[in-house]
Amino acid sequence: MTTHESAPGAETSFDSAEVLIRPETADDRHAVHQLHARAYGDPERVPGLVAALRAATAVRAPIGFVATLRERVVGHVMLSATRLDAPRRIVDVLSLSPLGVLPEYQGQGIGTRLVGHALAAAEQAGEPLVFLEGSPRYYGSRGFEPAGPLGFRSPSLRIPEAAFQVARLSAHEPWMTGTFVYSEPFWAFDCVGLRDPQA
């Protein structure tokens, strides 16, 4: 799905040093649900995806991080288990999705910090690749690059070519190319690619 990157909005002033990034806990789930409902303007689809990803632990449990300001959850990012259908073998990789920041706190670097924290965690865990759909203008300066020219194939024709991006981490090896495969919750919640609003 196209992740919700931070964009200028109704800004609320704060000292960036007050924003803390930490792993999400079970106590954060209601706040995270409300955050994505507001960030994406849809009370069901993205919050439902997050809940389904948490429940789909057959492969690997997802990793979530929250940004808090004065103990309030103002941002959230999730890394979840996906796969790469490479010529040599199936490779376990990650998807960075969703990323959300409360509208009144967008455009102030919280999303950037969440993305950086997530990529650092993936690197530390020895993951080879992190994929996403999103704005190349936003994510291109935050560790991601166009996936197609690097030999990766999109899982859907509905994903704009420029939006299909990857972060190659230290554990990536040159043979790890092929087709990126989303986990089932992304399909079940129709969170892959773009839908024609006129359809």
5 located within any domain: no
198 located within any domain: no
Domain containing 174 equals 16-188
* Residue 7: pLDDT over 60: no
For 111, residues 6+ apart whose C-beta sits below 8 A from its C-beta are 5, 6, 75, 77, 99, 101, 138
Measured distance CA(148)–CA(77) in Å, rounded: 24
141 located within any domain: yes
What does each C-alpha distance from 83 to 45, 72, 102, 166 come to in angstroms? Answer: 22, 34, 30, 13
Give the pLDDT band (50/70/90) at residue 158.
Answer: very high
Counted domains in the chain: 1
Quick one: tokens of 58?
């057959």
Find the distance separating the first CA and the last CA of the chain, reported in whole Å: 18
| pLDDT > 90: percent of the chain | 84
98 located within any domain: yes
117 located within any domain: yes
179 located within any domain: yes
Can you give the chain as a three-state secondary structure string?
Answer: CECCCCCCCCCCCCCHHHEEEEECCHHHHHHHHHHHHHHHCCCCHHHHHHHHHHHCCCCCCCEEEEEEECCEEEEEEEEEEEEEECCCCEEEEEEEEEEEECHHHCCCCHHHHHHHHHHHHHHHCCCCEEEEECCHHHHCCCCCEECHHHCEECCCCCCCHHHEEEEECCCCCCCCCEEEECCHHHHHCCCCCCCCCCC
pTM of the entire predicted model: 0.91
Mean pLDDT of 143-147: 98
163 located within any domain: yes
Measured distance CA(92)–CA(104) in Å, rounded: 36
194 located within any domain: no
What pLDDT, in 10s, does the model give residues 23-71? Answer: 999 999 999 999 999 999 999 999 999 999 999 866 678 999 999 999 9
Measured distance CA(31)–CA(167) in Å, rounded: 28
Residue tagged 């203008």 (tokens): 137
57: domain CATH number? Answer: 3.40.630.30
